[in-house]
Amino acid sequence: MASIDACLSVTQKILKQKKTCRKLYSIQHLLSKRNQSSVSQNDPDKYVKPDIDITLCKSSKLNDNVTNILKSGTQIKFGTIFTDHMLKIHYDKHAGGWQKPYITPMEHLHLHPAAKVLHYATEVFEGMKAYRSEHGHMNLFRPELNLQRLNKSAKRVGLPAVDTDVLLKGIERLVSIDNEWLPVSAPLSLYIRPNLIGTEGTLGVAQADTALLYVIMCTVGSYFSNKFKSVRLMANPKFTRAWPGGCGDFKIGANYATTLYPQELASKLGCHQMLWLYGEDRQITEVGAMNVFIFYKNQNGEKVLATPPLNGMILPGITRQSVLDLTKEWDEFRVEERNFTMDELIELNENNQILEFFGTGTAAVISPVSSILYEDADVQLPTMEQSNPLYERLFKAITDIQYGRVAHPWARVVDERPHLYESQNYKYAN
């Protein structure tokens, strides 16, 4: 409690400064308390200031939210506490393509009633996070993978690709401006939501000639509290999330809308999420909005970590890739990308060969599974019975990188040098 009160006191002092120097002061305050050498990881002397317009809000909403942020901690309801600003980049095919990025106070969007996003779901998005390192600076976790995936998704629904370097620098600037919304380190983080929508106000199924890419952020807590909580899944072969030749491997809003009804049915049966199956052989594909991993012993007694392959039905998750990269580097057991069916899972479980079953994703990092409701029966899994579970080790390894407890090239340090944030470089909203 003492540490919370201390953080609250520091943040309130920041907010009492003159409005025109609020952002500059907060960044200098953090700089004075951090290890200055940490920024050199990204060679900041070569940093090129992006061509971006910035308009700051005159007063921050943080003063109304900081107590809730600090005292709620892991209990913050996801996606409800938004920061002061947003990044916008407009696209117009007939005006040379992408226009100049700008940061503005958070505001409502103005769309034509015939905007293609409203009628034909021409929309893609990403989910990523910024973390306050234990040294004080802000980290992003493998952001280039998120932005590469954003462009692949955009291509699938006929939206323009964005320059990932420009977008990443804009996101870093946004994080720097609103970094005080993350007053402490773990378990809090800033959830970053880039969203690309088709805005052309014409009816007709065709690619949009105009689009908007915007980025908003919200303060979120850890998916878990003090201890891991396992989840119960429902596997119902009547519902299919994705199929070959479809768009299950792209991060588009339409993929999520169609999961809401099955998820409601699962909730009524006491399940937290859906376990998505595909085909007559009932292949395991994904867990809710997460990738899935199965840790088991094969017939030779070898430990194997398996996850479904990227076959066009599986979203290429950043956490999924990180788990594969880490475990292959550890080289302690076999790591496979292969199809896994419900029948195989049940058979291995009955033979006491299943060790762990868990999902991976940006929001939860690792989510252990203890049971699956399948064909009116509960399949009880021993995930939570392991003495030194793999899911806990993976969670620690990844979050240690994210929060700067371990130096690693996957952590990108956000540049917060004061000379980039002098008040005369900004405009202020009326």
β-pairing, 365-374 vs 231-235, is parallel
What whole-number distance in Å separates Cα of residue 224 and Cα of residue 102? 35
User: Considering all CA atoms of the chain, what is the largest pairwise distance in Å, rounded to the nearest integer?
Assistant: 70
User: Of 342, 345, 360, which Cα lies nearest the Cα of 278?
Assistant: 342
Tokens at 141, concatenated: 């976790």
Domain-wise residue ranges, the chain: 53-220, 231-400
> What CATH number belongs to 231-400?
3.20.10.10
> What CATH number belongs to 53-220?
3.30.470.10
H helices then E strands: how many in the chain? Answer: 11, 20
Positive or negative, the CA dihedral 10, 15, 18, 20 is: positive
Whether residue 284 contacts residue 354, with contact meaning beta carbons closer than 8 Å, is answered with: no
CB-based contacts of 30, cutoff 8 Å, min separation 6 = 136, 137, 179, 416
What whole-number distance in Å separates Cα of residue 374 and Cα of residue 383? 17
**DSSP symbols for 241-257:** S--TTSSTTS-BHHHHH
Q: Which residues of 194-232 are buried (b: 16+ CB within 10 A; e: fewer)?
A: bbbbbbbeeeeeeebbbbbbbbbbbbbbbbbeeebebbb
**DSSP symbols for 281-305:** TTEEEEETTEEEEEEEE-TTS-EEE
- Cis ω for the linkage preceding 113 (within 30 of 0): no
> Which amino acid does the sequence have at 203?
L
What whole-number distance in Å separates Cα of residue 45 and Cα of residue 39? 10
Cα angle, residue 161 at apex, residues 138 and 244 outer, rounded to 5°: 100
User: Of 35, 271, 206, 1, which Cα lies nearest the Cα of 133?
Assistant: 35
Please report, in tens digits, the pLDDT of each residue of the chain (430 residues total): 444 444 444 444 434 433 333 343 343 333 333 333 333 344 433 334 448 999 999 889 988 887 777 766 667 888 889 999 999 999 999 999 999 999 999 999 999 999 999 999 999 999 999 999 988 999 999 999 999 999 999 999 999 999 999 999 999 999 999 999 998 877 899 999 999 999 999 999 999 999 999 999 999 987 655 466 899 999 999 999 999 999 999 999 999 999 999 999 999 999 999 999 999 999 999 999 999 999 999 999 999 999 999 999 999 999 999 999 999 999 999 999 999 999 999 999 999 999 999 999 998 899 999 999 999 999 999 999 999 999 999 999 999 999 999 999 999 999 865 444 444 456 777 6
Please list the alpha-helical segments (H only) found in 283-417. 318-330, 342-350, 390-402
